[in-house]
Amino acid sequence: MNKKLKKPTSPKLRKNPQKKAVCSRILTIAPKKPNSANRRIIKANLTHYKVRITAKIPGEAHNLQQHSTVLIKGAQIHDLIGVSYSAIRGKFDLFGVVSRKTKRSLFGVKKNI
């Protein structure tokens, strides 16, 4: 029996769950056809080896600029062409979403008591 090998969805992370990266450009792109908005993305270089990736910045507003450090994870972003990574909010230089009440763990916000 031949088992079909599964192709990795985030090959540039080299089987790691997350990797540290340094931002080189911050820009916005438009999604594929039925959707419309301006999605914020970053072009970043992984710190451990010279690989350039594009990653989405989730949530509203961000504080990133050139040379900021971010944590990158693999993610399927279906409406953005060529983007298969996402930045993690609340780690390194990317702050959490301010005044977020629901789904706080995805956006790096502590619980306010």
Q: For the chain, how many structural domains are there in total?
A: 1
**36 DSSP assignment:** -
So what's the pLDDT on residue 30?
A: 95
So what's the pLDDT on residue 71?
A: 96
The range of the structural domain enclosing residue 70 comes to 12-94
Asked, for residue 64, whether it belongs to a domain, the answer is yes
**C-alpha–C-alpha distance, residues 23 and 90, integer Å:** 16
Q: What's the one-letter identity of residue 111?
A: K
| Cα distances (Å, whole numbers) of residue 67 to 27, 42, 78, 105, 106 | 14, 11, 27, 25, 23
CATH number, domain of 57, equals: 2.40.50.140
pLDDT tens, 5-40?
A: 888 888 899 889 999 999 999 999 999 999 999 999
pLDDT tens, 49-108?
A: 889 999 999 999 899 999 999 999 999 999 999 999 999 999 999 999 988 889 888 888
Asked, for residue 76, whether it belongs to a domain, the answer is yes
Token pair 């971010």 in the structure block, residue:
70
